[in-house]
């Protein structure tokens, strides 16, 4: 394929958030009732924690948001300017400007909706022993409106793309936007992919998630999310391989593509289910002392995976690229990467 064929080939939609990241202590986690390896939406009790983090700990500010991370990593792996696009909502403030600058520098074609009255969303990233917990204060990210998507200059990104990726987190913000994109994908034989994203999405946004499942050609998630999904659907199994198969066999809206389920399990092998069969792919081993934090590991995996999927590569290559990208990211703070990938 010529590089012009990749123009806008991959579109992401999600919640652009500025990561407020710090290594914290157990006392801080207990105070705010935070569990490691989890992702939640901030409640009132969490709101003071962002200031407290910056006073008590060494805080880094990193452009984040699950879908935006994945799209940036895919863009980095592809090394073709403008191959990826992204939509979401930011505030008209310095954080929003920083985010725009960061994503544009990464080569992503961003079309943000800018909310006049709400600050750019933030995500507290609490790191302890290399594990992370995410507490998202969506703010402006929560203000995305389907009207923005329908504007001709934005809908043009949907029409141009051949692959779509939306993290489950966006289900809490604009299910109407997701519906328009997934129906366009189905009607035009394009590839629609989503992520389970967090146990709370599977549990408390089950109904909107279920409406999307028939359209998902690829479902991504981690082992904790997969087990929550299984419990919520009354499957009575904790076996990740069985869950992956069952997810891949849920009904589909179109027969164009069979569904593939891809479940990551931290340092354990990646589980891939398609055609009623499971394959497991080992991840790249990393000595504990090289682990900086797992923030963005799953996002990076998806980004690497999608970078090969848009090239028409097989599942094994896609997983290999996903494992490469997540291995790079966990050795750095947040979802960041060196200037060029070393993936062949």
Q: What is the largest CA-CA distance in the chain?
A: 54
What is the structure's pLDDT at 36?
A: 93
What is the structure's pLDDT at 293?
A: 83
Token pair belonging to 64? 């984040």
CA dihedral 221, 270, 217, 340 (to 10 degrees): 90
What is the structure's pLDDT at 3?
A: 77
| Cβ atoms within 10 Å, residue 242 | 16
pLDDT by residue for the chain (344 residues), tens digit each? 777 899 999 999 999 999 999 999 999 999 999 999 999 999 999 999 999 999 999 998 888 999 999 999 999 999 999 999 999 999 999 989 989 999 999 999 999 999 999 999 999 999 999 899 999 999 999 999 999 999 999 999 999 999 999 999 999 999 999 999 999 999 999 999 999 999 999 999 999 999 999 999 999 999 999 999 999 999 999 999 999 999 999 999 998 899 999 999 999 999 999 999 999 999 999 998 998 888 889 999 999 999 999 999 999 999 999 999 999 999 998 888 999 999 98
Q: Does the 3-16+65-120+139-330 domain belong in CATH 3.20.20.70?
A: no
Global pTM reads 0.95
In the residue annotation, 33 being an active-site residue is answered as: no
* C-alpha to C-alpha distance for 10 and 7, rounded to whole angstroms: 8
Residue among 102, 115, 293, 299 flagged as catalytic: 299
With CA atoms as reference, report the closest residue to 97 among 10, 16, 216: 16
* C-alpha to C-alpha distance for 322 and 269, rounded to whole angstroms: 12
How many CA atoms within 13 Å lie on the side-chain side of 28? 21
* C-alpha to C-alpha distance for 205 and 152, rounded to whole angstroms: 30
């Amino acid at each position: 394929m010529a590089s012009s064929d990749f123009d806008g080939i991959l579109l992401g939609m999600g919640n652009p958030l500025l990561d407020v990241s710090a290594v914290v202590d157990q006392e801080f986690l207990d105070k705010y009732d935070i569990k490691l390896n989890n992702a939640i939406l901030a409640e009132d009790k969490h709101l003071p924690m962002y200031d407290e983090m910056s006073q008590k700990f060494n805080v880094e500010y990193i452009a984040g948001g699950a879908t935006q991370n994945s799209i940036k990593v895919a863009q980095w792996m592809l090394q073709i300017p403008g191959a990826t696009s992204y939509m979401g909502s930011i505030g008209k403030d310095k954080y929003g400007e920083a985010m725009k600058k960061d994503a544009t520098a990464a080569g992503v074609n961003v079309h943000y909706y800018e909310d006049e009255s709400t600050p750019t969303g933030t995500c507290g990233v609490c790191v302890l022993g290399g594990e992370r917990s995410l507490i998202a204060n969506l703010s402006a990210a929560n203000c995305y409106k389907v009207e923005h998507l329908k504007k001709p200059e934005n809908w043009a990104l949907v029409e141009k793309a051949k692959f779509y990726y939306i993290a489950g987190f966006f289900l809490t913000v604009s299910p109407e936007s997701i519906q328009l994109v997934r129906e366009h994908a189905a009607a035009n034989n394009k590839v629609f992919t989503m992520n389970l994203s967090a146990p709370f999405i599977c549990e408390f946004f089950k109904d909107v998630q279920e409406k999307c499942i028939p359209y998902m050609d690829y479902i991504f998630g981690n082992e904790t999310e997969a087990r929550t999904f299984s419990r919520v659907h009354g499957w009575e199994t904790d076996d990740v391989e069985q869950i992956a198969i069952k997810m891949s066999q849920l009904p589909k809206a179109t027969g164009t593509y069979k569904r593939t389920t891809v479940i990551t399990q931290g340092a354990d092998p990646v589980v891939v289910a398609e055609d009623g069969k499971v394959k497991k792919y080992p991840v790249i081993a990393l000595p504990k002392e090289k682990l900086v934090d797992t923030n963005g590991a799953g996002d990076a995996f998806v980004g690497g995976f999608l970078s090969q999927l848009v090239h028409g590569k097989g599942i094994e290559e896609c997983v290999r690229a996903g494992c490469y990208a997540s291995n790079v990211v966990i050795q750095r703070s947040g979802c960041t990467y060196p200037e060029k990938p070393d993936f062949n």
